Structure 1
Amino acid sequence: MIARRSLAVAGFGIGLAPAFLRAQSWTPNGPIRVVVPFPAGGTTDVLARLYAQRLTETMGVSVVVENRGGAGGSIGADVVAKAAPDGQTLLFHNLTFSTTTAAMEHAGRAPHSIERDFAPITVGANVPMMLLVARDVPVTNLREFAAWAKTQPTPPFYGSTGPGSTMNLVGEVLKRDGGFAMEHVPFRGAAPLVQDMLAGRIQFGGDQLSSSLQNMRSGALKPVATLSATRATAMPQVPTVREQGFPNAELQGWNGYFAPARTPEPILARLQAEIAAASRHPSLAARIVELGAEPGGNSRAEFTQQVHSQVAAVRPLVQALNLRVE
């Protein structure tokens, strides 16, 4: 009995060896294209370029970032969904992927979904998303903003990265739960949204902490809440949405890598290992922390669970609010 069991275990190990060797021996056939589904300048773009520089050094091929913004990130995501599953084209997206997926499904026009068309690889960085107001809005927190909005003769404007995006969902949740009005203004990405907030054309919006950290520290924009379950390390004085009575707006921020579905496991394993190793490299990890984020590098199983559970959580909200990608 012991001998048979030993043989079985040995056989199991032998069976794993070819897959392990294939994962280690796969090499890209030319440059790797990383699609960022937003314009240049935002946190997702900055992180993608930091990783691209490190991965170019370690993988022996060029890793090139391509910005394909629009429709809350769904245009760029669709490019990757339709790409060959060979590891040469990847998507670097953020938590708005969860809301646009649910919103496209609700509208009955979903060209792709996270579960069906993508293979999650790993998180590049966990980045809290902050709710912000323009400098001249006379409030210091989210509760005060809700009270102020109710007194305005015309509704204030809130910006998002497009219909069905995270900020579109959050804005509508806040309006519903807080009993106040706002007008939605969609942008092609966070960078132009922030520029309009700095100019005072938009009163309220959201951005990943990394992108607007300096604007918040200088007072050019005022943080009123964080969407995460806990306060941001870089902005510990800013309360969460849950602390301020808006638990339905709580969302955990992330920026992560995806490959097209049906990408062979050895390729995914090599990519996950390379990205995770890059996230631990002292200079890159330090740069990520400087941006107010936390380095990623979790397993494929962990990232898949993280993303799929987030999509499942936002679907009921999207349906209740009749949120759609136009």
Structure 2
Amino acid sequence: MTLSRRLFMGAAGATALATPALAQRGTWPDRPIRLVLGFATGGVGDLTARLIAPKIAEGLGQPIVIDNRPSAGGIVSAESVARSAPDGNTMLLLTTTNSTASAIYKSLPYDVVRDFAPIARIATFDHVLLTAANSPYKTLQDVLDAARAKPGSINIGSISVGNAQHLGAELLRSMTGADLTVVPYRSTPDLINATATGDVQIASEILAPALSQLDGGRLRALAMTSAERFPSMPNVPTATESAVPNYIVGSWNGMAAPIGTPRPIIERMNKEIVRAMAQPDIRAKLLELGVQPATSTPEEFGTFIRAEGERWAKIVQDAGIPKQ
């Protein structure tokens, strides 16, 4: 999207901070901070990080350097931060993928709860259930009724086995008891094209990358999978409202540091994140990208991370998804 490209270019200079002994003497940060991301440049999570990093850096007086380290399950990025010195110089953009990886993989080289010090949530990424613009299904209930009337007739597409979109599709199948066939695709463009052409009757995807197709009239939103309707799409009901009570699936991100990072650094970083996320221009740009701003205390974020790990582990178990 043009907006995404503009935000990416405008925020690409982001960089940042720290050192433990200095932090305890109150002189942190004294140099740039490295913020490690577990995915490539250009996606909505990357754009979000690059959008807010300069605002956080303004308050810290040091730049924040974005370090993209894409890998399956975000394992490479998380491991690199978990093994970094707890001096405030290296931080991780923790995401839903870290929670789903803990649920999907038999073993990981880190523990998402024990090896990281939570700082703050940053944003949530609402998911949406999509169908083709010319689809005969006008509501989510129509799709479920068709699946029950003719078992095996409805395919639900997602991307990347094990991520939140895929597990959301599996959760819909298990919660409704409908005979839905989950079909994973390699990428979002592949999934969107398959949905628009009717290869799959419904898709589970993050809202942000689907917005241009919704605006262009190629796709139609059946339901949001968030707890509340998305602000700029008030006419699209939630799945809970329309057909599946308590079906809530979404993605999120936030910032964390290696365990043992001094508490003053955690508190200072939390303060600057909260300040940045309160900026009206930041909030407006995030909403344009299909992203909901969100903040928390370190303790609230820690509780949330633990709850997410337990929730995704139960989804994987209930859906009978084999661990890798």
The letter for the 1-side match of 2:234 is P
> What is aligned with 2:29?
27
Separation in 2 of the partners of 1:28 and 1:325? Answer: 43
How far residue 252 of structure 1 moved from its aligned partner, in angstroms, is 4.8
* Residues 122 and 299 in structure 1, CA contact (< 8 A), matched pair in contact too: yes
The letter for the 2-side match of 1:76 is S
Instruction: Describe the SS at the equivalent of 2:205.
Output: strand
Separation in 1 of the partners of 2:134 and 2:34? Answer: 41
Selected match of 2:269 from 268, 271, 286 = 271
* Residues 154 and 181 in structure 2, CA contact (< 8 A), matched pair in contact too: yes
Separation in 2 of the partners of 1:23 and 1:128? Answer: 41
Where is the helix percentage greater, Structure 1 or Structure 2?
A: 1
Structure 2 length normalisation: TM-score? 0.79
> What is aligned with 1:139?
137
* Residues 40 and 191 in structure 1, CA contact (< 8 A), matched pair in contact too: no
Return 196-205 or 212-221, whichever deviates more.
196-205
Instruction: Describe the SS at the equivalent of 1:58.
Output: helix
Separation in 1 of the partners of 2:133 and 2:199? Answer: 11
* Residues 43 and 208 in structure 1, CA contact (< 8 A), matched pair in contact too: no
How far residue 200 of structure 1 moved from its aligned partner, in angstroms, is 6.3
- Following TM superposition, the consecutive aligned residue runs of length 4 or more in structure 1 with deviations greater than 4 angstroms are 21-24, 148-155, 189-203
Larger Rg: 1
Instruction: Describe the SS at the equivalent of 2:85.
Output: coil
Instruction: Describe the SS at the equivalent of 1:254.
Output: strand
Closer, same or farther: CA 25–295 of 1 in aligned 2, 3 Å: farther
Separation in 2 of the partners of 1:181 and 1:130? Answer: 17
Residue 156 (str. 1) matches residue 192 (str. 2): no
Separation in 2 of the partners of 1:246 and 1:119? Answer: 35
Separation in 2 of the partners of 1:300 and 1:127? Answer: 20
Separation in 2 of the partners of 1:285 and 1:25? Answer: 30
> What is aligned with 2:13?
none
Higher relative contact order, chain-length normalized (CA < 8 Å, sep 6+):
1
Selected match of 2:167 from 148, 166, 169 = 169
Separation in 1 of the partners of 2:261 and 2:139? Answer: 45
How far residue 48 of structure 1 moved from its aligned partner, in angstroms, is 0.7
Separation in 1 of the partners of 2:50 and 2:27? Answer: 25
Separation in 2 of the partners of 1:202 and 1:280? Answer: 40
The letter for the 1-side match of 2:55 is R
How far residue 323 of structure 1 moved from its aligned partner, in angstroms, is 2.6
Query: What's the RMSD between the two structures over aligned residues?
Result: 3.1
Instruction: Describe the SS at the equivalent of 1:120.
Output: strand
- Unpaired stretches in structure 2, ≥5 consecutive residues: 1-22
Separation in 1 of the partners of 2:295 and 2:25? Answer: 17
Separation in 2 of the partners of 1:243 and 1:97? Answer: 29
* Residues 131 and 220 in structure 2, CA contact (< 8 A), matched pair in contact too: yes
> What is aligned with 1:66?
67
* Residues 128 and 209 in structure 1, CA contact (< 8 A), matched pair in contact too: yes
Question: 5 Å matches for 1:1-326?
Answer: 22=24, 25-30=27-32, 32-104=33-105, 108-149=106-147, 151=150, 156=155, 158-160=157-159, 162-176=160-174, 177-187=176-186, 190=188, 193-194=191-192, 197=195, 204-247=202-245, 249-324=247-322, 326=324
> What is aligned with 2:17?
none
Percent identity of paired positions between Structure 1 and Structure 2: 31
Separation in 2 of the partners of 1:193 and 1:45? Answer: 20
Instruction: Describe the SS at the equivalent of 2:137.
Output: coil
How far residue 152 of structure 1 moved from its aligned partner, in angstroms, is 8.2
Closer, same or farther: CA 205–41 of 1 in aligned 2, 3 Å: farther
How far residue 98 of structure 1 moved from its aligned partner, in angstroms, is 2.6
The number of equivalent residue pairs is 301
Q: Give deviations 1:207-243, integer Å, cap 9, x for gaps.
A: 3333333332332322222222222222222222222
The letter for the 2-side match of 1:236 is P
